[in-house]
Amino acid sequence: MTDDWYIALRRCFYHLLTSWCQCIARGLLGHQNFCTTLILTFLGYAFLEVYLIITVILNLKIEIYKMMSNRQSYLFILTFVFLIVASCLAFNPDSIDGQTTHHTHDDDDLVGHNCIHDKINHNVKLSSGNRNLKADPTASTHPIRLVFNTTYLNPGTESQTCYQVGQVVILDPDTNSPTSYTCKQSDILTPELVNLFTQEVLPFIASSFSKYLTVSGTARNSYSRQFRCIEEYVMDITNGFEGDFINYVSVHPIASSGTIAYATSCLIHSDTGAPFAGIINFSPFYFSPFANATYRQQNQVMWNQFLRVGLHEATHSLGFSSSMYDSFYDRTTGNRYKNNIMINTTTTLTTPAGVSFPYQRFFITSPSVLHVARNHFGCQSLVGAELENIGGPGTAGSHWKSTRFGEGETLIVIYSQLQCINMTLSCLNLDSGWYGLLNLGESRSSSWGKGMGCDFADKLCTPAIWSREGYWPATNNQVGCSASRSGIGMAFWADYNSNLPYPSQHFTNPKTGGASQVFDCCVWNMPSQYCFDTSRKTAYEGEVNGADSFCFKQQLTPTTFGYGCRPQRCQGLQLQVQFNGKWSTCPAGETLILSANTTLVCPNDNTCSPTAFPSEPSSFPNAGAATSGSPLPFEPIITAGQNTSDASTFQINFIYFVILFISYLFI
Q: What are the b/e assignments for 79-105, b being 16+ CB within 10 Å?
A: bbeebeebbeebbbeebbebebebbbb
What's phi and psi for 447, nearest 5 deg?
-85, 0
Is 312 marked within a binding site?
yes
Residue 568 · residue 583 · CB < 8 Å: no
Residue 423's closest CA among 433, 434, 412, 414? 412
Residue 33 · residue 637 · CB < 8 Å: yes
**Residue from 313, 386, 388, 543 carrying the catalytic annotation:** 313
Residue 621's closest CA among 193, 143, 176? 143
| Cα-based angle 309, 330, 444 (whole degrees, multiple of 5) | 40
Please spell the DSSP secondary structure of 109-128, one letter per residue: SSS-----HHHH--SEEEEE
Is 316 marked within a binding site?
yes
DSSP secondary structure code for residue 426 in this structure: I
**Cα dihedral 252/254/258/261 (nearest 10):** -60
Query: Taking phi first (over 0 means left), then psi (-120 to 50 degrees means alpha), and beta for anything else, what does residue 617 get?
Result: beta
**313 given a catalytic annotation:** yes
Residue 7's CB: how many other CB atoms inside 10 A?
12
Pairwise CA distance, residues 652 & 152, whole Å:
44
Pairwise CA distance, residues 222 & 297, whole Å:
40
Residue 538 · residue 562 · CB < 8 Å: no
User: Position 487: which residue type?
Assistant: G
Please spell the DSSP secondary structure of 121-163, one letter per residue: --SEEEEE----TTT-TT-EEEE--EEEE-GGGSTT--TTSB-
Using CA atoms, how far residue 9 sits from 12, 41, 50, 454, 662, in Å, is 5, 17, 10, 66, 18
DSSP E strands: which ranges in 286-368? 342-350, 356-364
Residues noted as catalytic: 313
Binding residues: 312, 316, 399
Binding residues for Zn(2+): 312, 316, 399
